[in-house]
Amino acid sequence: MPRVAAADRRRQLVDAAYRVIGQEGFAAATTRRVCAEAGAPLAAFHYCFASKAELLGELTDQAMRELEAARAGGVIVRGTVGESLRASLRGYWDTVEEDPNRESVLMALTQHALGDPALAGVAQRQYAAYHRTAENTLAEIGAGCAVRWALPVDALARMLVVVTDGVTLAWLVDRDTAAATAALDAFADVLATYSRP
C-alpha cells in the first residue's frame, strides 16, 4: 500500500472532520471517528496533529482560505452601487446553496470555539476573514462605481457580515430561498444609500 504524504494525510483528516461534524455533530468528531472516516490508522492522527483542537483550528483556517479564494472573484460591478451590491450578494448566496454543510459546520464551529479554551482565537480568525472579505467587496464596488462610502468601510463591512450571517442561519433552518434572497436584495438597497458620488 503506498505511503500517504503528511500534507495529504492532514488534508484527508480535515476533510473527514468536516464530514463527521456536518453529518453527526461535534460530539461525534472524536479522533477515532475522524480517522475511520478518513480511512486512516489512529496513529496517523497523532502524527499529523498534536491535538483535536489543532485539527479544528486547521479546519477553520482551510475553510477560510477556500472561502476567500472562492469569493475573491465574486465582486460584480454593474451600472449602480445598488445593482453591484445585489449581484455580489447573489454571488455570495450561490456559494451558500452550493455547500450548505460547510455553512452549518462553520457556524457550529464558531459556537464551539467560543466555549472551548483550547480553541482560543479560532472564532476570531474566522470573523477576521469574513470582515476582510466584506471590506474588500465594498472597496471594489466603491472604486468600480466611482463612489465613496458615507460611513467607514469597516463599519459597513460589519453590517454586511451581520446580515449575511443572519440570512444564512435563517435559511439553514427554513430553506426558504425566496425569503433569503429578498432579504439580501433589500439590504443591498439599504447599503447603497451609504454611497456618495
pLDDT digit string, tens, across residues 119-155: 889 999 999 999 999 999 999 999 999 999 999 999 9
pLDDT digit string, tens, across residues 43-58: 999 999 999 999 998 9
pLDDT digit string, tens, across residues 8-39: 999 999 999 999 998 998 889 899 999 999 99
Which DSSP string corresponds to 1-60?
-PPPPHHHHHHHHHHHHHHHHHHH-GGG--HHHHHHHHT--HHHHHHH-SSHHHHHHHHH
Closest C-alpha among 106, 119, 125 to residue 164: 106
- Cβ pair 53, 119 in contact under 8 A: yes
Q: Does domain 1-49 have CATH number 1.10.10?
A: yes
Q: Are strands 148-149 and 195-196 parallel, antiparallel or unpaired?
A: antiparallel
Q: What is the CATH number of domain 52-196?
A: 1.10.357.10
**Domain spans of the chain, in order of start:** 1-49, 52-196
